[in-house]
């Protein structure tokens, strides 16, 4: 379809481990349109990294890994490709940045060498001198001071935030049309986090590059994404344009994620409210709705029947829930659980949890 740069259709990834089969990604479908920012949000262990790597072709089927579904990039089915045909897309079309910049930087090579290698490899420049000049310009673009000096430094001589700027410069060196950023700021301290996220937002605006921004923190994507896909236990449980998701969340897990973060404008001492219960065990996922053991509104049906994705009035807003927030069915479910002091799954219902 026009405008869609990357589409994933019913993507599954399962790992066979000694402890059993890990259902890491369970039937994810999504699309990233040219030039947009899609945020993928969920707690640790919800399958975000496995999904991102699968989108790029970095997770392939094998003895211990079972994959299915398709990923299509600008008309080419990446899931049919391997080897050189697949890696031709990396860097030039789709670039990836990771949580820990040290895993993508080579500790024994100077910054400048790592940047020029990438530029020469992808034939973005003709000569070494041109590559060096371009490397300095790229470091300047990502806001590094003294770029002439930085090109001669090694990764360990830079701070975490500066190193992440370098990996962004490398990712941008071949002008990709899609940037996959997997928790690019989680390893950084809070002020640096904001700077890096703002840098990505600026780069996205100035280059029209599409971005898939993966995070566990809904707060950071509120002003930095066009659409959000909320992931839980390997599935997308709600997806909507960012404003609609914040205005009218339907899935109780989305609400729980919102309540798990302090208000943006709130005082610094606001405590992080954690989501009650433990994230799902992907080795033994619960039957029915995967969130039901932690959901304050869960009813008997939620424990046995997994809800399908349904439209919330329009096809751009979809959710998985039998008792979507704000509906009469939900109000009844909530009243029932408050009356008996627990949800069907035994989750104690407290005033604090029922915030709406």
Interface with ligand ADP (CB under 6 A): 15, 17, 22, 24, 42, 44-50, 282
Closest by Cα among 14, 118, 7 to 70: 7
Least distance to ligand ADP, CB of residue 280, Å = 9
**Contact of 91 with 118, CB cutoff 8 Å:** yes
Strand order in the sheet with 318-319: 94-97, 178-182, 210-215, 37-41, 227-232, 235-241, 318-319, 310-311
| Minimal distance, residue 53 CB to Mg ion, in Å | 9
Nearer to ligand ADP, 24 or 218 (CB): 24
User: How far, in Å, CA of 10 to CA of 25, rounded?
Assistant: 9
Q: Which lies closer to ligand ADP via its Cβ, residue 42 or residue 143?
A: 42
Cβ proximity to Mg ion: between 49 and 292 the closer is 49
Which one of ligand ADP, Mg ion, none interacts with residue 242, CB within 5 to 8 A by kind? none
**Please, what is the minimum distance in Å from the beta carbon of residue 42 to ligand ADP?**
6
Q: Which residues contact 296 (CB under 8 A, 6 or more apart)?
A: 252, 334, 337, 343, 347, 349, 353, 354
Identify which of residues 17 and 304 has a Cβ nearer to ligand ADP in the complex: 17
Cα–Cα distance for residue pair 208/340, rounded to 1 Å: 53
Scanning the structure block, which residue is given the tokens 């970095």?
Answer: 58
Question: Which residue, judged by CB position, is nearest to Mg ion in the bound state?
Answer: 49
Pick 42 or 57: Cβ nearer Mg ion: 42
- Choose the one of ligand ADP, Mg ion, none that binds residue 249, judging by a C-beta under 5 to 8 angstroms depending on kind: none
Name the binder of 353 from Mg ion, ligand ADP, none, CB < 5-8 A by kind. Answer: none
Distances (CA, A) of 321 to 14, 25, 67, 165, 338: 24, 19, 26, 40, 19
> Cβ of residue 213: shortest distance to ligand ADP, in angstroms?
13
Residue ranges that bind Mg ion, judged by CB under 5 A: 48-49
Q: How far is the CB of 181 from ligand ADP (least distance, A)?
A: 13
């Amino acid at each position: 379809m026009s405008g869609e740069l990357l589409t994933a259709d019913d993507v599954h990834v399962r790992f066979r481990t000694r402890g059993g089969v890990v259902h890491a990604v369970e039937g994810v479908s999504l699309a990233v349109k040219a030039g947009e920012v899609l945020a993928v949000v969920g707690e640790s262990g919800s399958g975000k990294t496995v999904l991102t790597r699968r989108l790029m072709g970095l997770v392939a089927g094998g003895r211990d890994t079972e994959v299915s579904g398709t990923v299509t990039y600008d008309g080419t089915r990446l899931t049919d490709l391997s080897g050189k045909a697949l890696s031709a897309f990396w860097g030039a079309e789709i670039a990836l940045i990771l949580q820990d910049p040290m895993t993508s930087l080579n500790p024994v090579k100077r910054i400048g060498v790592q940047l020029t290698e990438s530029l020469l490899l992808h034939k973005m420049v003709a000569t070494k001198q041109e590559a060096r000049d371009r490397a300095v310009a790229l470091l300047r673009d990502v806001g590094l001071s003294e770029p002439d000096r930085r090109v001669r430094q090694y990764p360990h001589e830079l701070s975490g935030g500066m190193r992440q700027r370098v990996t962004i410069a490398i990712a941008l060196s071949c002008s990709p049309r899609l940037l996959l950023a997997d928790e690019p700021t989680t390893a950084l301290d809070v002020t640096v986090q904001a700077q890096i996220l703002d840098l990505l937002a600026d780069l996205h605006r100035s280059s029209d590059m599409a971005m898939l921004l993966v995070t566990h923190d809904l707060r950071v994507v509120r002003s930095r994404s066009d659409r959000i896909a909320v992931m839980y236990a390997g599935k997308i449980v709600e997806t909507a344009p960012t404003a609609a998701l914040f205005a009218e969340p339907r899935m109780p897990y989305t609400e729980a994620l919102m309540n798990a973060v302090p208000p943006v404008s709130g005082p610094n001492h606001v405590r992080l409210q954690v989501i009650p219960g433990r994230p799902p065990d992907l080795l033994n996922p619960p039957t029915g709705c995967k969130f039901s053991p932690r959901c304050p509104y869960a009813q008997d049906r939620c424990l046995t029947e997994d809800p399908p994705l349904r439209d919330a009035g329009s096809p751009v807003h979809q959710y998985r829930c039998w008792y979507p927030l704000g509906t009469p069915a939900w109000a009844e479910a909530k009243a029932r659980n408050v009356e008996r002091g627990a949800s069907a799954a035994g989750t104690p219902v407290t005033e604090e949890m029922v915030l709406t």
